[in-house]
Amino acid sequence: MDDAQNQPDSRTLARELALKLLYVTDISKPEQVETQLREVLEIEHASRDVSELASEIVAKVGELRTELDEDIQKVAVNWQVSRMPVIDRAILRMGVYELLYMHDIPPKVTINEGVELAKKYSTEKSGAFVNGLLDKIFQTRCPEKV
């Protein structure tokens, strides 16, 4: 297998960049968000396509944050969205957004990518946590695709 086949595709890279940007928006003071986002984009040196897709995901997740959090809360037994680890919360918001609004992405791909991001960037148990919640949301909100 050559190196090109081992490279993540642009959508995977965009998700990873979007996760970093969502993390920054969640932990930054409102007046610092724009500056922090620009700094992350500069540091990451992502291609234009990756940066644009990541920025689009971040903007849409920001617009729909209340609705996305409500969807997560409905399936998060014994958890408050506000008390979840910041990375998990960002992954879940992004995953729910993709499941409900980005119909060109197979749901299994969205769930798998969320799990992989959780394994890479969050706690030991986060992969299973993210998998369980995204799968429940998929089954309850998208029953026609199950």
Phi, psi (rounded to 5 degrees) for 39: -65, -40
Structure tokens at 141: 């909100």
Report whether CATH 1.10.940.10 matches the domain 8-145: yes
Amino acid, single-letter form, for residue 39: E
Q: What is the pLDDT along the chain (146 residues), one digit of tens a residue?
A: 444 556 678 999 999 999 999 999 998 888 888 888 888 888 888 888 999 999 999 999 999 999 999 999 999 989 999 999 999 999 999 999 999 999 999 999 999 999 999 999 999 999 999 999 999 999 998 767 65
Domain ranges within the chain, ordered by starting residue: 8-145
| DSSP calls for 69-97 | HHHHHHH-TT--GGGS-HHHHHHHHHHHH
pLDDT at position 1, please?
Answer: 45
